[in-house]
Amino acid sequence: KKLGRGTGLGLSTAYGIVKENGGNIFVKETGPEGTTFVVELPLYIPPNGSEEGS
């Protein structure tokens, strides 16, 4: 796709996923080369006695 020709749904989708999982998303900087976003998600620690993937 040409620059500026996206559907505009990517950020909205990312925002929904991040918020649904208890995180935050925000703009760090914008400029001629693009925009930088920061995504923060909470750390998941499995309960004692359970192992991931078993």
Which contiguous run of DSSP H or E holds residue 36? Answer: strand 34-40
Residue 30 lies in a domain: yes
pLDDT tens track for 1-54: 566 677 778 889 999 999 999 999 999 989 888 889 999 999 988 888 666 655
Whole domain around residue 32: which residue ranges? 10-40
DSSP tag of 43? P
Is residue 1 one of the residues assigned to a domain?
no
**0.75 surpassed by pTM:** no
52 located within any domain? no
- Residue 11, helix vs strand vs coil: helix
pLDDT of amino acid 6: 72
Is 17 inside a domain boundary?
yes
Domain count along the chain: 1
CB distance 25 to 15 below 8 Å = yes
